């Protein structure tokens, strides 16, 4: 991995026109070092009439790129997939996965193309175009992404990063007038995404399904050596890898729950081996709290409902464990050896539960501005259970609730109005608030300090569906200013931004009719 010049085998086309984008970073082979069993080298399909929709300053900074570069034709051509820079080695990777609980077989990067693995001061970044045209893994689909879903993915990636949630990042959206058929005719766009690696659980499942243990081992070694070197020190590195992924996944999902994020399609091919939120499709943030909220209109059974996310993550980890098992189970092992190996896998998965629980309580205690009680997490359970029940019954706006809760007084109800007014049944709020206030007084909570701490963890601004929708509607009319404005607001989610007060308001009535599906 020390090789810092791009692969010699990059397909390059002498017909590339114009200046190619120079990179402020060296590259390394990254995923390409795994060899051709793992991917197909190919060029992105050119995107006609490409123009810049938006560039994310924070993501550009990760690559050491000045945002001004985004207005250069070379930037647009490179991140539209129209010209392949000399530092790029574009390829699409193969993976498989379980979709909605069922083995789906081979999937792969059907519309994503890795450009390069950048080495930067902020770490390694795989640069990937999403929506860059057909690949050998496109199956029946067109290899494209529409502007609507690209804007949603772009904004949410950056919003989640600003919220402190582990996530892939998004550098830019390049738009086009090229028509793309979904339920209606839309237009195409390419989002450039960044992640240390885009390896998914599904990559491991793929080689396990093919009983290709050598490839499986190569992939696991790649992840350990590049991203989780501490696992190498463990007695059983592959078991340590599984344990590390379990812990990271627990952390990620606990954070999702705390901020009211629903992923919508937690298939194993959408689970990052690094525990990053990846593949933003029909995601949603809770408006009115509903524990069983289903954000994905295509998820008729509610498999991926908000309340199900922790269990689903654990189920997905079992799929990963199943895939990794051959790495510590000798071929031809007898029944006793098989049982021992399964036990080892369980031991690597089990920490998920405790880690999830402790992260869950840690997040919610911070949201409530409380200290760890002497009796530990258990002691917080009644207060939280009664709160979730109340929020659910009253369908209280989740984000506004937490934000306004910061302003109450521990002494009396004098500061209650903003939060109390969110409840239809004010008496129910009063009853819960009494218990909460008692707890605050018992720990001699300082109102001013608590308020500051709570406002630093309870965001004022999240990407509500209707905000994305407004930006999308403007963008369809070629006005991209709303995408930029929303990006700027969401990049400081905990700050009061007086000029952006409207972005923190309750959703308008029409937002109730918005449906988000897998169509993207």
> Per-residue x/- mask for ligand AMP, residues 103 to 132, rule CB under 6 A?
----xxxxx---------------------
Please give the residues from 457 up to 516 whose contact with Mg ion meets the rule CB under 5 A: none
Q: What is the DSSP letter of 250?
A: H
Contacts (CB under 5 A) with Mg ion, residues 238-277: 270
394, containing H or E segment: helix 381-394
| Of the candidate residues 158, 279, 416, 469, the single one contacting ligand AMP (CB under 6 A) | 279
193 in a known ligand binding site: yes
C-alpha 390/C-alpha 290 separation (Å) is 10
Measured from the CB atom, the residue of 319 and 433 that comes closer to ligand AMP is 319
Q: How many residues bind ligand AMP (CB under 6 A)?
A: 16
Q: Which of 349, 328, 306, 43 is nearest to 201 (CA)?
A: 349
**Does 437 engage in binding with ligand AMP (CB under 6 A)?**
no
Q: Nearest to Mg ion by Cβ — which residue?
A: 279
| Closer Cβ to ligand AMP, 96 or 344, answer by number | 96
Please say which residue, 107 or 457, places its beta carbon nearer to ligand AMP.
107
Name the binder of 141 from Mg ion, ligand AMP, none, CB < 5-8 A by kind: ligand AMP
Q: Which is nearer to ligand AMP, 52 or 180 (CB)?
A: 180
- Three-state SS for 364? helix
Rounded-to-integer distance, Cα 131 and Cα 76, Å: 14
Binding residues for ligand AMP restricted to 362-381, rule: CB under 6 A: none
* Distance from C-alpha of 70 to C-alpha of 59, rounded to nearest angstrom: 12
Segment contacting ligand AMP by CB under 6 A, of 40-48, 141-149, 189-197, 293-301 = 141-149
The CB-nearest residue to ligand AMP is 110
Candidates 251, 269, 380, 416; catalytic one: 269
Interface with Mg ion (CB under 5 A), residue total: 2
Which two structure tokens, joined as six digits, stand for 471?
């930006």
Asked if 90 and 10 touch (Cβ cutoff 8 Å), the reply is: yes
In the bound complex, what is the minimum distance in angstroms from residue 483's beta carbon to Mg ion? Answer: 23
* Residue 269 known to be catalytic: yes
Does 144 sit near ligand AMP (CB under 6 A)? yes
Among ligand AMP, Mg ion, none, what binds residue 326 when CB lies within 5 to 8 Å by partner kind? none
Neighbours of 341 (CB within 10 A): 18
3-state helix, strand, coil in the chain (%, to 5): 45, 15, 40
CA 21 to chain centre: 28
DSSP 130-142: ES----TT-TTS-
Residue that has been written with the tokens 């960044």 in this structure: 194
- Binders of ligand AMP in range 162-191 (CB under 6 A): none
Q: How far is CA 464 from CA 155, 170, 224, 346, 468, in A?
A: 11, 18, 36, 38, 7
**61 within 8 A of 80, measured Cβ to Cβ:** no
Nearer to ligand AMP, 90 or 108 (CB): 108
Place of tokens 């500061």: 415
Binder of Mg ion out of 279, 380, 397, 469 (CB under 5 A): 279
Site for ligand AMP in 237-266 (CB under 6 A): 265
513 is in an annotated binding site: no
Q: Is 101 annotated as a binding residue?
A: no
d(CA 60, CA 56): 6
Count CA atoms within 13 Å of residue 407 on its CB side. Answer: 12
Does 81 contact ligand AMP by CB under 6 A? no
* Spatial distance between the Cα atoms of 516 and 498, rounded to a whole number of angstroms: 30
Residues 6+ apart with CB under 8 A from 199: 31, 219, 222, 223, 272, 273, 274
Report the nearest approach of Mg ion to the CB of residue 71 (Å): 31
- The span of 137-145, 283-291, 309-317, 353-361 binding ligand AMP (CB under 6 A) equals 137-145
CA quadruple 241, 246, 248, 249: dihedral positive or negative?
A: positive
* Shorter beta-carbon distance to ligand AMP: residue 60 or 265: 265
**Residues contributing to the site for ligand AMP (CB under 6 A):** 107-111, 137-138, 141-144, 265, 270, 279, 281, 518
Annotated binding site for ATP: 108, 110-111, 130, 142-143, 193, 200, 279
Question: Known binding site: residues?
Answer: 108, 110-111, 130, 142-143, 193, 200, 270, 279
Residues binding Mg ion (CB under 5 A): 270, 279
Active site residues: 269
Q: Which residues does the annotation place in the binding site for Mg(2+)?
A: 270, 279
């Amino acid at each position: 991995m020390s090789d810092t010049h791009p692969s010699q085998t990059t397909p390059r086309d002498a017909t590339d026109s114009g200046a190619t984008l120079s990179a402020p970073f060296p590259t390394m082979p990254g995923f390409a070092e795994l060899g051709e069993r793992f991917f197909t080298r190919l060029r992105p399909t050119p995107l006609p009439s490409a123009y810049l929709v938006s560039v994310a300053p924070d993501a550009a900074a990760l690559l050491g790129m000045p945002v001004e570069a985004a207005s250069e034709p070379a930037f647009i051509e490179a991140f539209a997939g129209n010209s392949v820079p000399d530092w790029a080695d574009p390829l699409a990777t193969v993976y498989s996965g379980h979709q909605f609980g069922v083995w789906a077989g081979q999937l792969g990067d059907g519309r994503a193309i890795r450009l390069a693995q950048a080495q930067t001061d902020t770490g390694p970044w795989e640069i990937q175009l999403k929506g860059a045209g057909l690949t050998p893994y496109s199956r029946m689909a067109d290899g494209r992404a529409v502007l609507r879903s690209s804007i949603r993915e772009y904004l949410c990636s950056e919003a989640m990063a600003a919220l402190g949630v582990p996530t892939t990042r998004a550098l830019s959206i390049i738009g086009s007038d090229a028509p793309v058929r979904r339920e209606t005719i839309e237009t195409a766009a390419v989002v450039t995404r960044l992640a240390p690696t885009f390896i998914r659980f599904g990559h491991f499942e793929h080689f396990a399904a093919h009983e290709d243990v050598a490839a499986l081992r190569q992939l696991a070694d790649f992840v350990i050596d590049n991203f989780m070197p501490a696992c190498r020190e463990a007695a059983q590195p592959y078991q340590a890898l599984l344990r590390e992924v379990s812990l990271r996944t627990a952390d990620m999902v606990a954070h999702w729950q705390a901020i009211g994020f629903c992923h919508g399609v937690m298939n194993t091919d959408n689970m990052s081996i690094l525990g990053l939120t990846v593949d933003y499709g029909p995601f949603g943030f809770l408006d009115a709290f509903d524990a069983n909220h289903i954000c994905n209109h295509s998820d008729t059974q509610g498999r991926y409902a908000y309340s199900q996310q922790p269990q689903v993550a654990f189920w997905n980890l079992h799929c990963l464990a199943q895939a990794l098992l051959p790495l510590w189970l000798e071929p031809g092992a007898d029944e006793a050896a098989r049982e021992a190996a399964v036990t080892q896998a369980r031991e690597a998965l089990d920490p998920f539960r405790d880690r999830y629980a402790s992260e869950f309580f840690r997040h919610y205690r911070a949201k409530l501005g409380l200290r760890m009680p002497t009796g530990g997490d258990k002691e917080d359970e009644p207060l939280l259970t009664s709160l979730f029940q109340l929020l659910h019954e009253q369908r209280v706006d989740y984000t506004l609730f937490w934000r306004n809760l910061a302003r109450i007084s521990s002494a009396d109800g004098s500061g209650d109005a903003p939060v109390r007014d969110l409840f239809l049944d004010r008496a129910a709020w009063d009853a819960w608030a009494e218990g909460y206030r008692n707890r605050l007084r018992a720990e001699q909570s300082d109102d001013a300090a608590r308020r500051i701490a709570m406002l630093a963890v309870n965001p004022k601004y999240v990407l509500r569906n209707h905000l994305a929708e407004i930006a999308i509607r403007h963008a369809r009319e070629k006005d991209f200013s709303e995408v930029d404005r929303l990006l700027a607001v969401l990049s400081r989610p905990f700050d009061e931004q007086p000029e952006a007060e409207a972005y923190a308001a309750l959703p308008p009535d029409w937002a109730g009719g918005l449906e988000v599906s897998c169509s993207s």
